[in-house]
Amino acid sequence: MTTREIKFIPEQCLREVCAPIEDINDETLKLADDMLQTMYDAPGIGLAASQIGVLKRMFVLDVAERESEEDESVEREPMVFINPKITWSSEETSVYQEGCLSIPGVYEDVERPSQVRVSFLGRDGKQQEIKASGLLATCVQHELDHLDGILFIDYLSRLKRERIVKKMTKQAKQA
């Protein structure tokens, strides 16, 4: 497994619509494992393929509640979503303070449907459907947005978003 480099805004790969995965082969499985390692390493609770510059419809998640990175009392719960689709969203919404590994240091409230049903292929290639609520529902929607080139800052006011992009663009030029 390899830890890959996470891309930050304003990298163009974060704004692309990703392509469906045609078949689950060794390359796909290697990508899934690299994404999980990159996510745990960051650390984060989710990661989309486009965040490491791979424009494919896959994301990984682990929303198991650990007290800290060193907390080993809670088992890891890696989840792999290939070609995910939201098949139902609740009318009810909830607000979570979101962050993104591609926009470090920025945390803002975002309102989304509280519950979603998502169908996807798992790492084993089997078609699955789950109903998600709470943090899992928020994360699934945040990650699925990534596959369509959408970022959580797109839900903020234009002024806030432009300030964030400007600051990150300046930082990228200095690096």
- Catalytic residue IDs: 143
Determine which residue in the list 4, 32, 36, 46 makes contact with ligand GNR, applying CB under 6 A.
46
Report, in Å, the least distance between residue 109 CB and ligand GNR: 10
Instruction: Check binding of 44 to ligand GNR (CB under 6 A).
Output: yes
Q: Which long-range contacts (CB under 8 A, 24 or more apart) does 18-21 make?
A: 18/48, 18/49, 18/50, 18/55, 18/56, 18/57, 18/146, 18/147, 18/148, 18/149, 19/55, 19/56, 19/57, 20/56, 20/57, 20/83, 21/56, 21/57, 21/58, 21/82, 21/83, 21/121
Report, in Å, the least distance between residue 11 CB and Ni ion: 13
Contacting range for ligand GNR; rule: CB under 6 A; set: 81-89, 99-107, 116-124, 155-163? 99-107
Determine which residue in the list 11, 13, 89, 99 makes contact with ligand GNR, applying CB under 6 A.
99
Instruction: Check binding of 140 to ligand GNR (CB under 6 A).
Output: no
Report 23-62 residues binding Ni ion (CB under 5 A). Answer: none
Give the span between the Cα atoms of 58 and 121, in whole angstroms.
Answer: 9
Contacting range for Ni ion; rule: CB under 5 A; set: 26-34, 35-43, 100-108, 156-164? 100-108
Burial of 68 (0-12, 13-18, 19+ CB in 10 A): exposed
Report, in Å, the least distance between residue 67 CB and ligand GNR: 16
Determine which residue in the list 101, 118, 132, 136 makes contact with ligand GNR, applying CB under 6 A.
101
